[in-house]
Amino acid sequence: MGKVLVTGVTGNLGRIVLEKLLHKVPASNVKVLVRDAEKGEAFKQLGVEVAIGSYDDKASLVAAFQNTDKLYFVSGNDVANRGKQHENVVNAAIEAKVGHVVYTSFQRKNETATSPIHFVAVTHLLTERLLRESGLKYTILKHGIYAEMIPLFIGDRPLETGVMFLPAGDGKTSYLLRSELAAAGVAVLTEEGHENHSYELTGSEAISYEDLAAKISAITGKQISYVSPTPEVFAAELTNAGVPAEYIGLFTGFAVAAKEGEFTNISSDLERLTGKKADSVDTYLKQVYGAK
């Protein structure tokens, strides 16, 4: 029998997937892919096999993917360059005859170049197409926005100034935690019947930034209001504050996408896979903002 291979285990999501997987599958049946041998050492202590390989190097992936029944493929974080990387992963999976590829894609409605997050979307859409055309068995996990992105999107300023400033209008997002997404991924990896399916993994309610401001106000006891500037005013403010252009593009893109309703879907797929709704965003907000 082949192994279950998890990529991205040195990152936030893959680490949790591995942790949850090891509750269900013996370590001797699990393999991880890391691109830095030094980082791989820690995983050897868990009893899993450590394969060294990079999405940039197809040959390393073909070697790493040998004897793999299921591959949990974490999308790369080098958004500008991951098209070729993901192509390498899919081609290596074909060459190594991987049994089933589970890919972490993204939640969306607008798949055209008019999407404010097209710069992120384009490589996910490419990868989904490559998988569908590959002849491999695949599962596409359309991940909603991580609740853990909230502190990044709103920054520390609301707690200092009492104003949350983001060009998202009254757009809503159905956030969920990485751990909830990881639980769904592990269900797909350890159960039968998910081949060639796509799942929409979302939170169980969609909330606006106004709602978020109210929640954080209640937690902190400090009145926080929400202001939605135009994307241009937002970009100018962040530029003045010294935020790098790359981040301004990212924050603006996701805020405007939220405004356009890209992330409002609420699906029962997570509950069907894990037996549990995504219901931990409030708990997470209390953890993050409760002590401040």
Ligand X SMILES: NC(=O)c1ccc[n+]([C@@H]2O[C@H](COP(=O)([O-])OP(=O)(O)OC[C@H]3O[C@@H](n4cnc5c(N)ncnc54)[C@H](OP(=O)(O)O)[C@@H]3O)[C@@H](O)[C@H]2O)c1
Residue 11 touching ligand X (CB under 6 A): yes
CB of 236 to ligand X, least distance (A): 25
Q: Site size for ligand X, by CB under 6 A?
A: 23
Please pick, from the candidates 32, 43, 85, 248, the single residue that binds ligand X as defined by CB under 6 A.
Answer: 85
How far apart, in Å, do the first and last CA atoms of the chain sit? 50
Which of the ranges 3-11, 182-190, 196-204, 256-264 carries the binding residues for ligand X, by CB under 6 A? 3-11
* CB of residue 89 to ligand X, shortest distance in Å: 8
42 or 245: CB nearest ligand X: 42
| Nearest distance, CB of residue 19 and ligand X, angstroms | 13
Q: Which stretch binds ligand X (CB under 6 A): 143-151, 157-165, 240-248, 271-279?
A: 143-151
**What residue is closest to ligand X based on CB?**
11
Q: Binding of ligand X at residue 8 (CB under 6 A)?
A: yes
Q: Is 207 in the site for ligand X (CB under 6 A)?
A: no
Q: Does 13 bind ligand X (CB under 6 A)?
A: yes
Site string for ligand X, 249-268 (x = CB under 6 A): --------------------
Residue whose structure tokens are 């490589």 = 123
Q: Does 76 bind ligand X (CB under 6 A)?
A: yes
Q: Judged by CB under 6 A, which stretch of 77-85, 128-136, 163-171, 264-272 contacts ligand X?
A: 77-85
Interface with ligand X (CB under 6 A): 7-8, 10-14, 35-36, 54-56, 74-78, 85, 104, 143, 145-146, 149
